[in-house]
Chains A and B, each alone.
Chain A
Amino acid sequence: MNPEGVTDKLKEQFQEGIVRLPDFRGETSFRLLVSGEVAHAAMLLKNGCGFDYLVDISAVDHLGVPGEKHRFELVYHLYSYASGHHLRLKTFVAEASGGLSSLPSITPVFQAANWHEREIYDLMGIRFDGHPDLRRILMWDGYPHHPLRKDFPLEGLPVETGDGRFTQSAAMEGGPFVASFSPSATGREPRSQTPSV
Chain B
Amino acid sequence: MIKTWNQPDAAGQWAEHVSQQGADAPSGDRFILNMGPSHPSTHGVLRLVLELDGEVVVKATPDVGYLHRGDEKIAENMTYNQFVPYTDRLDYLAPLANNVAYALAVEKLMGWELPPRGQAIRLIGCELARISSHLLGVGCFAMDCGAMTVFLYTFTEREKIYDLMEMLTGARLTTSYTRVGGMTRDLPANFIPAVKSFLEGLAPRVDEVDSLLSRNRIFVDRTKDIGVMSREDAIDFGITGPNLRASGVEFDLRKRHPYLGYEKFDFDVPVGSVGDSYDRYLCRLQEIRESMKILRQAIEKIPGGPICVTDKKNILPNKPSVLSDMESLIQQFMLVTEGIKAPPGEIYFGAENPKGELGFYIYSLGGGVPHRLKIRAPSFVNLSILPKLLPGCMLSDVTAILGSFDFVMGECDR
Q: Which residues of A contact B (CB under 8 A)?
A: 24-25, 27, 29, 52-56, 58, 60-61, 65, 75, 77, 81, 84, 86, 88, 110-112, 114-116, 119, 123, 133, 135-141, 147-148, 152, 154, 163-165, 176, 178-182, 185, 188-190, 193
Q: What is the number of contacts between chain A and chain B, taking CB atoms within 8 Å?
A: 134
A56-B347 Cα distance, complex, nearest whole Å = 13
Query: Closest approach, in angstroms, between the C-beta of A46 and any C-beta of chain B?
Result: 9
Query: Closest approach, in angstroms, between the C-beta of B296 and any C-beta of chain A?
Result: 28
- Beta-carbon contacts under 8 Å, B338-376 to A: 338-339, 345-348, 350, 357, 359, 361, 363, 365-369, 371-372, 374, 376
Does B72 interact with chain A (Cβ within 8 Å)? yes
Determine whether the beta carbon of A189 is less than 8 Å from that of B337: yes
Query: Closest approach, in angstroms, between the C-beta of B411 and any C-beta of chain A?
Result: 13
A contact residues around B304 at 8 Å (CB)? none
A54-B240 Cα distance, complex, nearest whole Å = 11
Query: Closest approach, in angstroms, between the C-beta of A83 and any C-beta of chain B?
Result: 11
Known: A55-B348, A179-B337. A137 touches B64 (CB 8 A): yes
A110-B232 Cα distance, complex, nearest whole Å = 11
Known: A65-B371, A84-B256. A55 touches B77 (CB 8 A): no
B contact residues around A53 at 8 Å (CB)? 235, 238
A165-B65 Cα distance, complex, nearest whole Å = 14
A164-B10 Cα distance, complex, nearest whole Å = 13
A contact residues around B256 at 8 Å (CB)? 84
A114-B386 Cα distance, complex, nearest whole Å = 12
A182-B366 Cα distance, complex, nearest whole Å = 9
Residue picked from A111, A136, A163, most chain B C-beta under 10 Å: A111
Does B74 interact with chain A (Cβ within 8 Å)? yes
| Stretch from B16-24, B86-94, B138-146 forming part of the interface with A | B16-24
A58-B77 Cα distance, complex, nearest whole Å = 18
Chain B window 321-345, contacts with chain A (Cβ cutoff 8 Å), 1 for yes, 0 for no? 0000000000000000111000001
Query: Closest approach, in angstroms, between the C-beta of A25 and any C-beta of chain B?
Result: 5
A147-B70 Cα distance, complex, nearest whole Å = 8
Known: A81-B235, A179-B339. A24 touches B359 (CB 8 A): no
A-B contact pairs, 11 of them (CB 8 A): A55-B238, A56-B361, A56-B376, A58-B372, A111-B238, A133-B21, A139-B68, A141-B17, A148-B72, A188-B367, A188-B369
Determine whether the beta carbon of B238 is less than 8 Å from that of A54: yes
Determine whether the beta carbon of B345 is less than 8 Å from that of A179: no
B contact residues around A86 at 8 Å (CB)? 348
Closest A residue to B380 by beta carbon equals A115
Determine whether the beta carbon of A55 is less than 8 Å from that of B249: no
A25-B27 Cα distance, complex, nearest whole Å = 56
A147-B361 Cα distance, complex, nearest whole Å = 18
Q: How many chain B residues touch A (Cβ–Cβ < 8 Å)?
A: 57
Known: A88-B348, A178-B78, A181-B365. A114 touches B384 (CB 8 A): yes
A88-B347 Cα distance, complex, nearest whole Å = 10
Determine whether the beta carbon of A55 is less than 8 Å from that of B345: no
Determine whether the beta carbon of B372 is less than 8 Å from that of A61: yes
Known: A25-B345, A81-B249, A139-B68. A112 touches B369 (CB 8 A): no
Determine whether the beta carbon of B367 is less than 8 Å from that of A55: no
Q: Which 10 A-B pairs have the closest CB atoms?
A: A112-B238, A58-B374, A138-B65, A56-B376, A115-B384, A178-B77, A138-B68, A24-B345, A111-B236, A60-B372
A28-B371 Cα distance, complex, nearest whole Å = 20
Query: Closest approach, in angstroms, between the C-beta of B206 and any C-beta of chain A?
Result: 30
B contact residues around A119 at 8 Å (CB)? 380
Does B13 interact with chain A (Cβ within 8 Å)? yes
Chain B window 52-79, contacts with chain A (Cβ cutoff 8 Å), 1 for yes, 0 for no? 0000000000001100101011100111
Determine whether the beta carbon of A179 is less than 8 Å from that of B348: no
Query: Closest approach, in angstroms, between the C-beta of A79 and any C-beta of chain B?
Result: 9
Closest A residue to B250 by beta carbon equals A81
Query: Closest approach, in angstroms, between the C-beta of B390 and any C-beta of chain A?
Result: 15
A contact residues around B348 at 8 Å (CB)? 27, 55-56, 77, 86, 88
Query: Closest approach, in angstroms, between the C-beta of B356 and any C-beta of chain A?
Result: 11
Query: Closest approach, in angstroms, between the C-beta of B288 and any C-beta of chain A?
Result: 25
A133-B380 Cα distance, complex, nearest whole Å = 17
The answer, among B359, B363, B385, for a CB contact under 8 Å with A55, is B359
A115-B238 Cα distance, complex, nearest whole Å = 11
Known: A84-B257, A188-B368, A189-B338. A52 touches B235 (CB 8 A): yes
Query: Closest approach, in angstroms, between the C-beta of A89 and any C-beta of chain B?
Result: 12
The answer, among A58, A147, A163, A193, for a CB contact under 8 Å with B11, is A163
Query: Closest approach, in angstroms, between the C-beta of B59 and any C-beta of chain A?
Result: 12
Determine whether the beta carbon of A135 is less than 8 Å from that of B238: no
A162-B21 Cα distance, complex, nearest whole Å = 21
Determine whether the beta carbon of B13 is less than 8 Å from that of A154: no
B contact residues around A152 at 8 Å (CB)? 73
Residue picked from B20, B77, B238, B345, most chain A C-beta under 10 Å: B238
A29-B233 Cα distance, complex, nearest whole Å = 27
Determine whether the beta carbon of B366 is less than 8 Å from that of A181: yes
Closest A residue to B381 by beta carbon equals A112
B contact residues around A75 at 8 Å (CB)? 346, 361, 363, 374
Known: A133-B21, A147-B73, A154-B74. A58 touches B109 (CB 8 A): no
A133-B68 Cα distance, complex, nearest whole Å = 20
Does B108 interact with chain A (Cβ within 8 Å)? yes
A contact residues around B233 at 8 Å (CB)? 111
